[in-house]
A and B are shown apart, each in its own frame.
Chain A
Amino acid sequence: MHVPDGFFNASTSVATGLIAAGAVGFSLQRANRELRETGPALAGLTAAFVFAVQMVNFPVGAGTSGHLLGGALAAALVGPWTAVLVMSTVLLVQGLLFADGGLTALGTNITLMGLITVLVGYFLTRALLKVLPRRVGSVVPAATVGALVSVPVAALAFTGLYSIGGAVDIPLGKLATAMVGWHILVGIGEAVITAAVLSAVVATRPDLVYAARHLQQDLVLVDADGNTSTVSPDRPIAAKPAGRSLGVGIAVTLLVAGGLSLFASAHPDGLEFVGAKLGFEGAAKSSAVAGSPLADYGVHGIGNAQVSGALAGIIGVLVTIVVGLAIAKLASLRTNKAS
């Protein structure tokens, strides 16, 4: 999803650049305290980790592969504000050193992959932690759902941006459906890796998981004379109570998903010509498209494209949330029985 130079028009790039700059500035301020405690080295190492893991590809289907974005994972591990900085750093290095993602599109890339994935992932995770059993292990199913949802939401945001600043008019309903459909698959890979990473961390160093800091248990200390005492855990930063409900978490997600997608559908260009007469169906069968994600997930029967297209994204995200919630519930039931 690394957007190159010239993909979106100048005003979109400027607008997302401003959003990204604001988000990074805000995050710098919010992360200041944790960064003073834990040091920039830790954020830098997390960035190096995200970068390295983005190079690990996993199969998605149709002979193609996806890779971890890592926003939701980073948010669960180091907190949302540090995570925004980490993701922005990764994207800056990719753009400057590896020419991956255009420099003028840096703001767009940070907004899509550094901001949206982190915030959606984190707030869903925190919201789910409210309904799951109160222990550190619950962070695994919660963040898994966060990761699963964060990817298609970012894809939807991409579609939204395309409707505003895309150079070429293409049927947005189809773009949304294709992007979201495809990225739900990528999101599953993202969820699996996120779950595995968090399980490993919870098993070995549960104190490292930012999203579950408030769930840590007290420590038992034996002193020089063999006396035992109980003390509260060494927490570098007191975790702030989130004070957000599940509803708020989902609302944030839908706001991003729905807002952008409605914007897309309200945009007059690109929707007027939607329909079979424009030859999309024919093109989809042509060799250039066969085997591509668009071919696999293109919607058929798009007579009602304005509505269905705009809603496709929201529905996709909603379905993902519901399925994710069910999985989380099942997973926590099972771990409850196991322990």
Chain B
Amino acid sequence: MSGPAIQVERLVFAYPDGRQALFGVDFTVERGERVALLGPNGAGKTTLVLHLNGILGSVAGGTGSGRIQIGGTAVHREHLAAIRRKVGLVFQDPDDQLFMPTVRDDVAFGPANLGLRGSELDDRVHEALVQVGMQDHAGLAPHHLSFGQRRRVAVATVLAMRPEVLVLDEPSSNLDPAARRELADILAGLDVTLLMITHDLPYALQLCERSLLMDGGRIVADGKTRDLLGDADLMAGHRLELPYGFDPLSVPGPERA
């Protein structure tokens, strides 16, 4: 088992209603890298990451072409179960991800599908909930949690599957500043390859040394997060804006930590 953590080549995809979302995407992420995926609304970011574990795209019977490899394994019908074990996907809206009656049932859903049962399953669930600090809420119904708590449980549902690659879709959206920082602490402490979609540019700078910039269904820039955020023309050309008073050249990022 060798090869980069994620390798995407010439990826093209159209949704069933005829709207084409990806127009030839190419990029590679090495093992252990933390990469931010930036880009304006509708750029195709969510569409792209849904391809990484084969839930969209030609393997899922969709309309498209191109090649994806995860840790050297092609995303192909025969390997889907293995691919889904390797790639953990945290969705944009935690309500999409938390569908079981209780938090415990929900975190157990993935590992149970992997074949875990009994005390092994319970241990795995507990461990994942401890990682996100939600072990005291295991018996609650997901819709009785606050938004930030739900986001954390959503991360736990994926961590319980012990993925090699963790993919998060806008993890900091709708979180209050404290919840946002707590989530950053959790993510920074994980030993996985990380691909994170975000509109929160300081968050990208804080957590990810490298960034991909996507627009119009293509990768339009790939480089150090600090360099991308510092390139005013590139930013303006793709509807990206830094928060008022934020200077990417003067704050510490992961490379200095």
* B63 interfacial by beta-carbon distance below 8 Å: yes
The segment from B16-24, B71-79, B131-139 found at the interface with A is B16-24
Residues of A within 8 A of B223 (CB): none
A224 touches B24 (CB 8 A): yes
Residues of A within 8 A of B12 (CB): 221-224
B23 touches A234 (CB 8 A): no
Residues of A within 8 A of B24 (CB): 223-225
B10 touches A231 (CB 8 A): no
Contact of B18 among A41, A219, A235, A236 (CB under 8 A): A219
* A291 interfacial by beta-carbon distance below 8 Å: no
B10 touches A234 (CB 8 A): no
Residues of B within 8 A of A224 (CB): 10-12, 23-24, 26, 66
Q: How many A-B residue pairs have CB under 8 A?
A: 47
Return A16 CB to nearest CB of chain B, in Å.
31
* B92 interfacial by beta-carbon distance below 8 Å: no
A206 to B18, CA, bound (A): 10
Residues of A within 8 A of B26 (CB): 224
Residues of B within 8 A of A236 (CB): 61
A233 to B12, CA, bound (A): 15
Residues of A within 8 A of B20 (CB): 220-222
* A207 interfacial by beta-carbon distance below 8 Å: yes
* B99 interfacial by beta-carbon distance below 8 Å: yes
Residues of A within 8 A of B16 (CB): 207, 219, 233-235
Contact of B61 among A41, A205, A222, A234 (CB under 8 A): A234
Residues of B within 8 A of A235 (CB): 16
User: In chain A, what residue has the closest Cβ to B65?
Assistant: A223
B61 touches A207 (CB 8 A): no
Return A43 CB to nearest CB of chain B, in Å.
13
Return B193 CB to nearest CB of chain A, in Å.
25
A219 touches B14 (CB 8 A): yes
B1-34 interface (Cβ within 8 A of A): 10-12, 14-18, 20, 23-24, 26
A222-B18 contact given A233-B63, A234-B61, A234-B62, CB 8 Å threshold: no
Return A36 CB to nearest CB of chain B, in Å.
12
A205 to B17, CA, bound (A): 6
User: In chain A, what residue has the closest Cβ to B24?
Assistant: A224
Residues of A within 8 A of B61 (CB): 234, 236
Interface 0/1 of A47-77, CB less than 8 Å to B: 0000000000000000000000000000000
A221 touches B17 (CB 8 A): no
A207 touches B64 (CB 8 A): no
A221 to B18, CA, bound (A): 8
Return B72 CB to nearest CB of chain A, in Å.
22
B23 touches A222 (CB 8 A): yes
Residues of A within 8 A of B17 (CB): 205-207
A220-B18 contact given A233-B63, A234-B61, A234-B63, CB 8 Å threshold: yes
A206 to B65, CA, bound (A): 23
Interface centre among A41, A222, A236 (most CB of B within 10 A): A222
Interface centre among B11, B17, B23, B65 (most CB of A within 10 A): B17
Return A40 CB to nearest CB of chain B, in Å.
10
A221 to B63, CA, bound (A): 8
Residues of A within 8 A of B62 (CB): 234
* A335 interfacial by beta-carbon distance below 8 Å: no
A54 to B18, CA, bound (A): 32
Interface residue ranges, B against A (CB under 8 Å)? 10-12, 14-18, 20, 23-24, 26, 61-66, 99
Instruction: Return 11 A-B CB contacts under 8 Å, by A number.
Output: A217-B18, A219-B16, A219-B18, A220-B18, A222-B23, A224-B12, A224-B23, A224-B66, A234-B15, A234-B62, A236-B61
Instruction: For the complex of A and B, list the 10 residue pairs with the smallest distance between their C-beta atoms, beginning with the closest.
Output: A224-B24, A224-B10, A207-B16, A234-B16, A234-B63, A207-B17, A219-B18, A234-B62, A223-B12, A221-B14
